[in-house]
Structure 1
Amino acid sequence: MNLPERVGNRIRELRKAKGWTQEQLAEAASLHYSYIGGVERGDRNISLETLEKIIAAFQVPAIEIFRFEENTDHRKAIDEHIALISSRSAEEIAAITKINKEVIAAMEIRLNQD
């Protein structure tokens, strides 16, 4: 699989994690929906400016576009988490992180009791 296909697949994964249609992503990135389809299929050789628009629409760090791990349930769950918190403020993300740490600690305690 070539780089445009891998990037396109990753954009599709992030779009689905956000629960967006191609049309919704296109609107958020100020692009045409048919263009998004071509990008996701790897048919389009997109510019860095266009990639920047897509990254800004997702509100994720640019590195997320280049995470080419296997498309596993684990990766999908992480993508959904990123999609949920990406538009939150730094203070809200810190609060969510604190809560997550407490939940994980409670889960570990329970696992050690079983």
Structure 2
Amino acid sequence: MEGDLQKLLGRNLRAYRQARGLSQEDFAELLEVHRTYMGGIERGERNLTLKSVERIAEKLGVDAVTLLQS
């Protein structure tokens, strides 16, 4: 289905954020993005490039593939 990967990535990022006990705003600051942009990612509304996924994964210290797995 269209957008399923975006939603999966968003759910994984939300779970990662919540596991760390971070607010969406604090998580966005950690990733150096605006909080409203972070919200769009978590809701699966943002169509990220692979480069963006790699950059986010690097900042989190995880493999990019991990963020895309269910």
Contact 1:15 1:21 in 2 (8 A): yes
**Bigger CA drift: 53-62 or 2-11?**
53-62
Name segments (4+ residues, structure 1) moved above 3 Å. none
User: Number of paired residues?
Assistant: 68
Q: How high is the sequence identity, in percent, across the aligned residues?
A: 37
Greater helix content: 1
Q: Which residue of 2 aligns with 1:59?
A: 61
Q: Does 1:4 align with 2:6?
A: yes
Unmatched tracts of structure 1, length 5 or more: 69-114
User: Given residue 34 of structure 1, which amino acid in structure 2 is its aligned partner?
Assistant: T
Larger Rg: 1
Q: Which residue of 1 aligns with 2:34?
A: 32
- Aligned CA RMSD, in angstroms, stands at 1.6
Q: Distance in 1 between matches of 2:33 and 2:69?
A: 23
Q: Which structure has more RCO (C-alpha within 8 Å, separation ≥ 6)?
A: 2
Q: TM-score, normalised by structure 2?
A: 0.81
Unmatched tracts of structure 2, length 5 or more: none
Post-superposition CA distance 1:25-81 (Å, at most 9, x none): 21111111100100000011012232223212221222320231xxxxxxxxxxxxx
User: Given residue 17 of structure 2, which amino acid in structure 1 is its aligned partner?
Assistant: R
